[in-house]
Amino acid sequence: MRFKPHNYQQYAINFITHNPITAVLLDMGMGKTAITLMAIDYLMYEYFEIVKVLVICPLRVTRTWRDEVNKWEQLSGYRLSVVTGTVAQRKKALAADADIYIINRENVPWLVEKSGVPFNFDMVVIDELSSFKNHQTARHKALMKVRPFIKRIVGLTGTPASQGLMDLFAEFKVLDMGARLGRFIGQYRLNYFRPDKVNGNIVYSYKLLPGAEEKIYEKIQDITISMKAVDFLDMPELITTEYPVYLDESELQKYEGLKKDLVLSTPEHEVTAANAASLVNKLSQMANGAVYTDDEDIITFHDKKLDALEDIIESANGKPVLVAYWFKHDYIRIVERLNKIGVNHMKIDSDESITKWNHREIPVALIHPASAGHGLNLQQGGNTMVWFGITWSLELYQQCVCRLYRQGQTEGTVTIIHLIAQGTIDEKIMKALSEKDNTQSALIEAVKAEI
């Protein structure tokens, strides 16, 4: 098949080709991988500017890059080497004669510091730039060591500021070595933020200074291209709904008791929340219907969400339903309920399960956002997703939703259903996701490419 780019894709290809440093912020499903590969093709065989490319991406997404190269006629002659596996396998892959080397992000420190191979890549592509949003991680520090030797660098992501604009410092530092937002996080905070929540000398959060958001956008706009899928693609309609579930009085009392006292006791077990983060985690579990004890046993708290999920599956009348879960005990309890009511199901965690889902052979599929958010095309298998347990991470949330809500969705409408336990932390999570999205949408809108 020959790649015929949309207008926006050709614009992005040209942008990468003519700019040695680029941040490409495209919504999921807009073809970031194909766009980048076509730009590489121009640079390698039209302009002869590069000869060796390194792609850094999540482990599962290495498959996406291989599939894209095999898919398009223009790329049929490209030689790929996937640098994963054991140390011996990685060294063999690095020694192979290839055009593009693909490595998972966890192995970047090994590549730079321990592989023993000179870092002689003249172009680097970071697929999911947001995974470099923390300047203190080993992967960020390692890449910064060799950044001066990289002639061209491209950062790809659909969620550049999932936790707010503080994320942008590290992401853009790895691209331009601090030329736009500064070399030091302290100076970045001083220039654009003020302390928000503090305890003595400890600052827990920051707020943007007046006008700082616009100044940040202005600093990065010359190397940044941003587009929303709804502006350029014939996207399906997206409907998001909340399906309320109601705990009874005794269940709410136990929930409130844990929140107040940080302890939940039963005749056999005790659940303790050691700090605020632990409390949030325990309350989220209780909202879903079960909680881990201090001894790592599971206490079933209620079945309200399981009942709601059963009703939704029944009302789907055989149409496939994709269920997102968060805790391991969520998965265990969902599987037990599906077995009880005689519904066939499968976990999306392998090539076989992805194929079966897209062939509509699985009535109910279960997916964990952290392990299956990036790089999976599931839009042919169904158009309904149920969030049994909601994640705080906007990035994981959006990536997971866009497994169905993307170009190529065969149904006219995608429905995302959130099971929300009323009067619990579920409501605060939904609000937090919405507020973070406001910040990210403002970023994308501010640097959107005008075509």
pLDDT at 448: 58
Q: What is the DSSP string of 417-451?
A: EEEEETTSHHHHHHHHHHHHHHHHHHHHHHTB---
pLDDT at 451: 42
Question: Which CATH number is 326's domain given?
Answer: 3.40.50.300
In the chain, the number of structural domains is 2
Helix (H) or strand (E) holding 331: helix 328-340
Q: Final residue of a domain: which of 216, 232, 248?
A: 232
Question: Which CATH number is 100's domain given?
Answer: 3.40.50.10810
Q: Which class for 339: exposed (0-12), middle (13-18), buried (19 or more C-beta within 10 A)?
A: exposed
Q: Give me 217's structure tokens.
A: 């956008």
Query: How far apart (Å, rounded) are the C-alpha atoms in residues 399 and 28?
Result: 7
Query: How far apart (Å, rounded) are the C-alpha atoms in residues 291 and 293?
Result: 6
Q: Is residue 445 part of a domain?
A: no
Query: How far apart (Å, rounded) are the C-alpha atoms in residues 65 and 148?
Result: 26
User: Of 132, 424, 147, which is closest to residue 302 (Cα–Cα)?
Assistant: 424
pLDDT at 296: 77
Based on the domain organization, do 105 and 152 belong to the same domain?
yes
Query: How far apart (Å, rounded) are the C-alpha atoms in residues 98 and 51?
Result: 9
Distances from the Cα of 424 to the Cαs of 112, 246, 421, in angstroms? 46, 10, 6
Q: Final residue of a domain: which of 191, 212, 232?
A: 232
- Tell whether the torsion through CA atoms of 429, 431, 437 and 439 is positive or negative: negative
Q: Is residue 244 part of a domain?
A: yes
**Which amino acid, residue 405?**
Y
Per the CB < 8 A criterion, the answer to whether 106 and 139 are in contact is yes
Based on the domain organization, do 225 and 252 belong to the same domain?
no
Based on the domain organization, do 192 and 256 belong to the same domain?
no
Based on the domain organization, do 88 and 228 belong to the same domain?
yes
Query: How far apart (Å, rounded) are the C-alpha atoms in residues 111 and 119?
Result: 8
Q: Give me 310's structure tokens.
A: 């059963």
Residue with tokens 């691209």: 175
Based on the domain organization, do 197 and 50 belong to the same domain?
yes
Parent domain of 75: 7-232
Based on the domain organization, do 175 and 286 belong to the same domain?
no
pLDDT at 236: 86
Q: Is residue 446 part of a domain?
A: no
Q: Is residue 441 part of a domain?
A: no
Per the CB < 8 A criterion, the answer to whether 326 and 391 are in contact is yes
User: What is the pLDDT tens value at each position of the chain, 451 positions in all?
Assistant: 889 998 899 999 999 999 999 999 988 778 899 999 999 999 999 999 999 999 999 887 887 898 889 888 989 889 999 999 999 999 999 999 999 999 999 999 999 999 999 999 999 999 989 889 999 999 999 999 999 999 999 999 987 887 789 999 999 999 999 999 999 999 999 999 998 888 888 888 888 999 999 999 999 999 999 988 778 877 888 889 999 999 999 898 888 887 776 766 555 555 666 566 677 788 899 999 998 877 778 888 899 999 999 999 988 878 899 999 999 999 999 999 999 999 999 999 888 888 899 899 999 999 998 876 555 788 888 899 999 998 888 888 888 898 888 877 877 789 999 999 999 989 988 888 887 766 666 656 666 554 4
Based on the domain organization, do 277 and 208 belong to the same domain?
no
Burial string for 96-114 (b: 16+ CB within 10 Å, else e) reads: eebbbbbbbbebbbbbbee
Based on the domain organization, do 308 and 168 belong to the same domain?
no
Q: Is residue 2 part of a domain?
A: no
Cα–Cα–Cα angle for 441, 445, 447, rounded to 5 degrees? 125
Based on the domain organization, do 71 and 198 belong to the same domain?
yes
Q: Is residue 448 part of a domain?
A: no
Based on the domain organization, do 76 and 208 belong to the same domain?
yes
Q: Is residue 57 part of a domain?
A: yes
Q: Which class for 445: exposed (0-12), middle (13-18), buried (19 or more C-beta within 10 A)?
A: exposed
Q: Final residue of a domain: which of 187, 209, 232?
A: 232
Based on the domain organization, do 324 and 402 belong to the same domain?
yes
Based on the domain organization, do 31 and 158 belong to the same domain?
yes
Q: Is residue 450 part of a domain?
A: no
